[in-house]
Amino acid sequence: MEIITRADAESVGAYAASIIADVVTRADGRATLGLATGSSPLPTYAALAALVRAGDLDLARCQAFALDEYVGLPAGHPQSYREVIRRTVVEPLGMDPDLVHVPDGAAANPAAAAAAYDRTIAEAGGIDVQILGIGSNGHIAFNEPTSSMTSRTRVKTLTARTRRDNARYFDSPDDVPVHCITQGLGTIGESRRALLVATGANKATAVAAMIEGPLSAMCPASVLQLHPHATVVIDDEAAGQLAGIEHYRDIQLRRPEWQPR
């Protein structure tokens, strides 16, 4: 796992965006991106949008797959991840909506929709770079604690803590859906590169468990310890509980070739 620390959320986003831009450029503009929702990747998307606006990056031919979606929200609900991805990623980054996939949370059979989504990712050739946030309980996508490390895209039940964390987006906490479709930890583990961004002190415990804790289903993000190319970009607050922080900083300083363009 590469650990990159930056002073604040904006610098985290700029660094993460430079990694994504590098992957897209190397793929001649045809990379497949894995998209996360939530507040953590917003500075990354903002930095990518600035590169697109400046003419330094073109994402129009990139394919993309969202990590997850609520089950049961009506089509077009502003908090459905399909809508969130449209507003925060597809439009500002100039992506082709036909190439951007989100699990079908309104399907009559969500379990079948989840399995079909997993197959579609594989048929598209897999994910080149998977953007991830981390929940305060250590989840990635909606893989809550106790999720199987080899799980595939499936229907999951959200924990009370996750529903509380996400209540800020809804009129009432009771409006937060109870179920979701989420890519599995096994699905995420197949991405060719994993890029997790985390900022703020409320992520420090989960970040420390992910990086330094044991591989454990109680911290689903710890599965990234098994990933062949995982990069974690965090701000100083999110790094606040890492016992080995000086060691990671030392490595950063001594390995300038790790810096993307």
Give catalytic residues, as residue numbers.
68, 137, 139, 144
Least distance to ligand PGA from the beta carbon of 161, Å? 10
Segment lying near ligand PGA (by CB under 6 A), choices 18-26, 48-56, 76-84, 133-141: 133-141
Angle between helices 9-26 and 42-53 (to 10 degrees): 50
Q: Of 33-41, 96-104, 117-125, 211-219, which segment contacts ligand PGA by CB under 6 A?
A: 33-41
Pick one of 7, 29, 39, 259: the residue that binds ligand PGA (CB under 6 A): 39
Smallest distance from ligand PGA to CB 40, Å: 3
Pairing of strands 230-235, 194-198: parallel
CB closer to ligand PGA, 99 vs 188? 188
In this complex, which beta carbon is closest to ligand PGA, that of residue 63 or of residue 182? Answer: 182
Beta strands in the chain (DSSP E): 2-6, 32-35, 63-66, 68-70, 100-101, 129-132, 154-157, 179-182, 194-198, 230-235
Stretch that binds ligand PGA, among 35-43, 97-105, 148-156, 176-184 (CB under 6 A): 35-43
Among 13, 34, 105, 135, interactor with ligand PGA by CB under 6 A:
135
Q: In the bound complex, what is the minimum distance in angstroms from residue 226's beta carbon to ligand PGA?
A: 19
CA pseudo-torsion sign 191, 61, 257, 200: negative
Sign of the CA dihedral with 171 first, then 177, 178, and 182 last: negative
Residue 218's alpha-carbon distances to 138, 139, 149, 222, 223, in angstroms, are 8, 9, 10, 9, 10
Q: How far is the CB of 119 from ligand PGA (least distance, A)?
A: 24
Q: Which of 103, 133, 138, 189 contacts ligand PGA by CB under 6 A?
A: 133
Q: What are phi and psi of 79, to 5 degrees?
A: -100, 0
- How far CA 186 is from CA of 16, 183, 226, 241, in Å, comes to 23, 8, 11, 27
- Chain positions 148 to 207 lying near ligand PGA, rule: CB under 6 A, are none
Tokens of 254: 């001594």
Is residue 40 a contact residue for ligand PGA (CB under 6 A)?
A: yes
Residues near ligand PGA (CB under 6 A) are 38-40, 133-135, 139
